[in-house]
Structure 1
């Protein structure tokens, strides 16, 4: 089953902070191994919201709001699509992902894991 792992944005991310070289190397190794195992399907970091926009449909009218967006709550800074047997396996991948961040010196990160609809 496929799961979407969404990495939640932080104020540092929105300010344009880049991942350390150490974290980038660790993530590269982890993703490479996950690809070899057939777990990692796709994923990427996203640019801060100043590079994006939001579109909204209300009462039949479409509006567009350009970034940046003031609040980081609910914003996504990256994603991964993984294919695993079940939710327990998806949580294990999430735990491994977080452990890579700990090893890379990150102390505060949140991910959300959700299954694809069948």
Structure 2
């Protein structure tokens, strides 16, 4: 009668002599029967596999968050790179403009000097 109860299942591979008597067996079960666990078939060596779904869920959630964080980090890095690129471009443009202005000013000064000399 005791063997029919699911909480009193015996684990394969362990001799029955090592188990406590049937009256105590319920308190020291080897297979978890709480809601978090569910037994799924047999393993390779005949042992009962129990999967803790809450742990699996937590792990999946953690992995998802990690992926999300990595994606965010990647995006941030890309934006920073683009910002730096734009900044560099702007600086180069500014430098070019400045150079052009300087050249023009120099040319105009020379022109003015020449014109002054010609007037005399």
| TM-score category of the 2 structures, normalised to the smaller one | under 0.3
Query: Could you tell me the TM-score, scaled by structure 2's length?
Result: 0.17
The structure whose residues are more often strand, as a share, is 1
Which protein has greater RCO, CA pairs closer than 8 Å, 6+ apart? 1
The structure whose residues are more often helix, as a share, is 2
Query: Could you tell me the TM-score, scaled by structure 1's length?
Result: 0.18
